[in-house]
Amino acid sequence: MFEANMGIYDDGGDEEMTIAESLQFNFDIIKVATSDFSHSNKLGQGGFGIVYRGKLPNGQMIAVKRLSTNSDQGKERLLVYEFVPNKSLDYFIFDPIRKTQLNWETRYTIIKGIARGILYLHEDSRLRIIHRDLKASNILLDDEMNPKISDFGLARLFVIGQTEGSTNRIVGTYGYMAPEYAMHGEFSVKSDVFSFGVLVLEIITGHKNSANICHGEDVEYLLTY
């Protein structure tokens, strides 16, 4: 499954914003839920803002991204997400102790869940979405170890009928990039499928595919094992 934003708060700027199938929350509710964006509730920080843990009046835990005013996103806006407590996939599969918690049934469930999420993005969403940065650290795990695809900061939307795109600015994570994207900037659903294949190998083997693991003059890749 993919991690969709549950809701959004807009401070009432002039720009009209339409979010499909999303809920809207009153700002005061979010402020109370996060204890006025308390530092103790801070989960992390990225290029677009700070993420806080929160608790809604009905007891549901949420994660709130407060977009930075210098993130080129306009006036202050808050994105509200489902809170997933088990961190990301890389926290487990690349740790010699924690990866023992992932039996084969759990690993299969994670792989199947990621595949279903990608299928939704590529085929079932109203607009086709190419993630462009699928990797273990962008797969979050809920309390039942179900996967959630996260971090759509590099995602591209395709218009109806569009099957591929290109860019002169290569962004993403080497080791997960499809060759045609890494070398020529060409991307499509196949780019995400390539990244998914790398993820499957990492989940099965517990080894990270990296272009930075060197042994003498040789560079070791998981894909060449």
Catalytic residues: 133
The token pair that represents 218 in the structure block: 């040789």
C-alpha–C-alpha distance, residues 1 and 95, integer Å: 24
* Total residue count of the chain as it appears in this document: 225
Residue 55 labelled as part of a binding site = no
Using CA atoms, how far residue 186 sits from 46, 130, 192, in Å, is 26, 12, 12
Burial 67-88 (b: 16+ CB within 10 A, else e): beeeeeeeeebbbbbbbbebeb
C-alpha–C-alpha distance, residues 181 and 166, integer Å: 8
Task: Could you list the residues known to form a binding site, using ranges.
Answer: 65
Task: Could you list the residues known to form a binding site for ATP, using ranges.
Answer: 65
